[in-house]
Amino acid sequence: MRHDSLTHNAAVRIIAGTRKGHRIAAPRGHRTRPTGDRVREALFNIVGPVDGAAVLDLFAGSGALGLEALSRGARRCVFVDDDRAACRAIKENLEKLGLTGAPVLQRDAIGVLREEATAGRRYDLVLVDAPYERWEELEARLAGALPAVVADEGAVVVETDGRVEPRLPLHMRTTRRYGSARLTVFSPEHSS
């Protein structure tokens, strides 16, 4: 396999768990923007332990978020990205790190969400790191599809441009800005 379209970036590494310190590959070019260490660390501090969790990593890019979840003890992670180079990088990273229980789907995220909902699959943690410039176009489509795949005690973490405050039909637990990025954590609305 040729690896000339992948790059190893010292700034992209696993920050905690069983694979702490391992570097991961990201596809070259502008399409993938791996979530930085500081933002990933903040995300998992907000969400808390993910031991045994089922994770769905949408718009996965390099897979940095889902790989971090697996390193921290998640039972399973499904990676979804429509870019071939991104999916190849995720598969390479999974192999290099020796992580299992992680299908990589080269598909449209909204289509996968709809299929997962129809199949009745629910996730403890859904990670949404869509391209910043596409958030406005994707927000309504995600709003229609996300709630059905979140487990009752689950969480959805959305990373957007720092100036954007995402709105979804879920309970907003917190929204925090980290430089040019914003993390917003949602949980299901519970009827009393």
pLDDT at residue 176 tops 70: yes
Across the chain, what does the average pLDDT equal? Answer: 87
Residue 137: its pLDDT value, please?
94
Instruction: Read off the pLDDT band of 62 (50, 70, 90).
Output: confident
Instruction: Read off the pLDDT band of 35 (50, 70, 90).
Output: low
Instruction: Read off the pLDDT band of 34 (50, 70, 90).
Output: low
Residue 14: its pLDDT value, please?
79
Residue 26: its pLDDT value, please?
77
* DSSP-derived secondary structure for 1-64: ---TTEEEEEEEE--SSTTTT-EEEEESSSS--PPPHHHHHHHHHHH---TT-EEEEET-TT-H
**Percentage of the residues of the chain whose pLDDT score is greater than 70:** 88
Task: Tell me the per-residue pLDDT of 99-156, one tens digit each, with 9 for 90 and over.
Answer: 877 999 999 999 999 999 999 999 999 999 999 999 999 999 999 999 999 999 999 9
Residue 189: its pLDDT value, please?
79
Residue 7: its pLDDT value, please?
45
CA pair distance 118, 96, nearest whole angstrom: 33
Residue 37: its pLDDT value, please?
74
Instruction: Read off the pLDDT band of 1 (50, 70, 90).
Output: very low
**Closest residue by Cα to residue 91 from 82, 79, 83:** 79
- pLDDT, average across residues 82-91: 94
The domains of the chain, with CATH numbers, are 6-187 (3.40.50.150)
pTM: 0.88
CA pair distance 150, 170, nearest whole angstrom: 10
Instruction: Read off the pLDDT band of 4 (50, 70, 90).
Output: very low
